[in-house]
Amino acid sequence: MAGYDEPEARPDIVIDLEQLRNNPQQFVDLLSRRGSFDMQPILTLDRQLREMITQRSQLQSRSNVISKTVGESIKAGIPPQSPEIKALRDEASQIKTAIAEFEPQEKQINAELEQLLLTIPNLPSPSTPVGTSEDENVEVRRWGDQYIPAGENILPHWEIGEQLGILNFERSVKIAQSRFVTLLGAGAALERALIQFMLDRHIQAGYLEVMPPFLVNSESLTATGQLPKFSEESFKCGADDLWLIPTAEVPVTNLYQDQVLTAEELPIYHCAYTPCFRREAGSYGRDTRGLIRLHQFNKVELVKLVQPETSEQEHQALVENAAGILEALKLPYRIVELCTGDLGFAAAKCYDLEVWLPSAGKYREISSCSNFHDFQARRGKIRFKPSGQKQTQFVHTLNGSGLAVGRTMAAILENYQQPDRTVRLPEVLQPYLNRAVL
């Protein structure tokens, strides 16, 4: 793929190949819930690779026997130039040539196999609702109906923001392009206040704050599932193997790349504020105005690394941590469980939190809370050693927005809009800004 430097091949940890070999139909059945995926090319390459490895192993074994036989024969007094010894050495030379020919073939098949495996999405959790599109997502619950504003003439957040002089989109186009915004005065202060408020709440809930690099390499994006599938959605620095992060999930999860943790180190909870950068290549014509779909936006992210047996419980807790921010701000929201057809590439199970936007008259996504099971851990080689056991296991990784800051600001500008076109601030934010009204 253009602009994407392929990492070193490692198909043995992209998915559980042993499980695929033993029960390919299970993979086919689970993946069919997402769509149509042909596993036959993967199985064919895997079989070719294993046959080649077996042949090479047999040749190497024969080479070892020849070497031992030659040594013992010479020690027994047979002349090194005898026809018997010469025949064995000729055979050994032929075997060496054959083994050398296997190496590039194995390397090629290995690389082809990994690239195919990297395009296969995560297997959906058995409990994930089966469906073909977002229309079949399942609503779990709603909260805050009493906080939905009664007025009918609520301005969209971009209009009230421009009237208040706190958002400027036009000047942002001059210095960048469309889908960027400049925050001014109280707008910048509100953004900072939201970030600090979210971090404070999550730190109190037990998350350790991280401020990671905002540029990552291809291997990190591959580990968390953004590459190779979403290379067109990401911004790459042309002179380096570095990409602007689409979310803090990438650098924070990869802090533990290629590491074996102890059971005592788990669970690991991190929260992180970062700017995020996305091309939004697949959203042409959608949300062209406002703060909903920008190329650059701020977000507070929650990341967990946990033992497999606790990941479902940890997932529910993660959702509640994100929802707690909306409840503290008294913003109406609902939670929907994504069906298999709407599930993200790397997720096994996902809940979206959607906040009420009065100007649109509907709920809009403000957080996705995903459980990836061992999908990212396999690609990133993140393991742990259970207490009292020698065998390592892959951790389970989870993440969710806690929350997308710009979308939270949009919800505040609309839900807290007053008849005189001022905006009352949520009570929990007023100490951060030393004011009650924008």
And the tokens for 29? 């059945």
Same domain membership, residue 346 and residue 243: yes
Same domain membership, residue 72 and residue 153: no
Q: Does the annotation mark 368 as catalytic?
A: yes
The mean-pLDDT minimum among 56-65, 188-197, 270-279, 362-371 falls in 56-65
Structure-model confidence comparison of residues 45 and 302, the more confident one = 302
User: Amino acid identity, residue 330?
Assistant: K
Full-model pTM? 0.87
Same domain membership, residue 163 and residue 106: no
Selected catalytic residue, list 34, 56, 179, 278: 278
Kindly state whether residue 35 falls inside one of the protein's structural domains. yes
Taking the alpha carbons at both ends of the chain, their separation in whole angstroms is 47
Same domain membership, residue 428 and residue 393: yes
Kindly state whether residue 438 falls inside one of the protein's structural domains. no
Q: Distance (Å, rounded) from C-alpha 109 to C-alpha 204?
A: 50
Kindly tell me if the per-residue pLDDT of 1 is higher than 50. Answer: no
Give the domain range for residue 187: 134-433
Q: Distance (Å, rounded) from C-alpha 144 to C-alpha 416?
A: 13
Same domain membership, residue 70 and residue 174: no
**DSSP three-state, residue 165:** coil
**DSSP three-state, residue 364:** strand
What CA–CA distances, in Å, run from 303 to 24, 281, 326?
Answer: 31, 26, 18
Q: State the Cα angle at 213 between 350 and 398, rounded to 5°.
A: 20
Same domain membership, residue 158 and residue 54: no
Selected catalytic residue, list 114, 179, 407, 414: 407
Kindly tell me if the per-residue pLDDT of 285 is higher than 80. Answer: no
Residues 362, 417 contacting (CB under 8 angstroms): no
**DSSP three-state, residue 196:** helix
Q: Does the annotation mark 286 as catalytic?
A: no
**CATH code of the domain covering residue 304:** 3.30.930.10
Q: What is the pLDDT of residue 9?
A: 41
Query: Which of 267, 251, 161 is closest to 214 using CA atoms?
Result: 251
Beta pairing class for 362-371 and 396-404: antiparallel
Selected catalytic residue, list 233, 327, 365, 424: 365
- If one counts the domains in the chain, the total is 2
**CATH code of the domain covering residue 52:** 1.10.287.40
Selected catalytic residue, list 10, 279, 293, 424: 293
Confidence of residue 96 (pLDDT cuts 50, 70, 90): confident
Beta pairing class for 396-404 and 296-306: antiparallel
Structure-model confidence comparison of residues 283 and 353, the more confident one = 353
Same domain membership, residue 283 and residue 198: yes
The mean-pLDDT minimum among 52-56, 261-265, 403-407 falls in 52-56
Selected catalytic residue, list 231, 368, 370, 401: 368
Q: Does the annotation mark 435 as catalytic?
A: no
Q: How confident is the model over 281-304, as a mean pLDDT?
A: 83
Q: Distance (Å, rounded) from C-alpha 181 to C-alpha 166?
A: 10
Residue ending a domain, choose from 65, 83, 117 = 117
Same domain membership, residue 150 and residue 51: no
